[in-house]
């Protein structure tokens, strides 16, 4: 019985991890051409401390959000912007 419960915990943890990794809002690319589909836009920024160019795709109706201090980019929301 104990093995079954440990197995179930591991299975649920793996499923949760797979779901979080599978659905990112922003599509980031390294050294590849990023193309926007219908109702999408390509966001590009040069990060301040490192000079690295980040490119990602967001929906057209939301802002491209960048936090240089923590080296992070994402798509915003129509409601709260980049908060």
Q: Which of 65, 56, 59, 62 is nearest to 77 (CA)?
A: 62
pTM of the model: 0.59
36-46: b or e for each residue (b if 16 or more CB lie within 10 Å)?
Answer: eeeeebebeee
67-80 mean pLDDT: 94
At 3-46, the pLDDT tens digits run 666 556 565 566 554 444 444 455 555 566 888 889 999 999 99
66-74 mean pLDDT: 93
Q: Are 26 and 74 spatial neighbours (Cβ–Cβ below 8 Å)?
A: yes
Q: Are 53 and 31 spatial neighbours (Cβ–Cβ below 8 Å)?
A: no
């Amino acid at each position: 019985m104990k093995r079954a419960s440990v197995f179930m915990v591991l299975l649920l943890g793996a499923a949760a991890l797979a779901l979080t990794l599978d659905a990112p809002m922003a599509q980031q690319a390294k050294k590849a051409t990023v193309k926007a589909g219908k109702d999408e836009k390509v966001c590009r920024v040069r990060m301040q401390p490192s000079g690295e160019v980040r490119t990602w795709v967001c929906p057209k109706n939301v802002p491209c959000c960048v936090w240089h201090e923590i080296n992070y980019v994402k798509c915003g929301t129509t409601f709260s912007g980049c908060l």
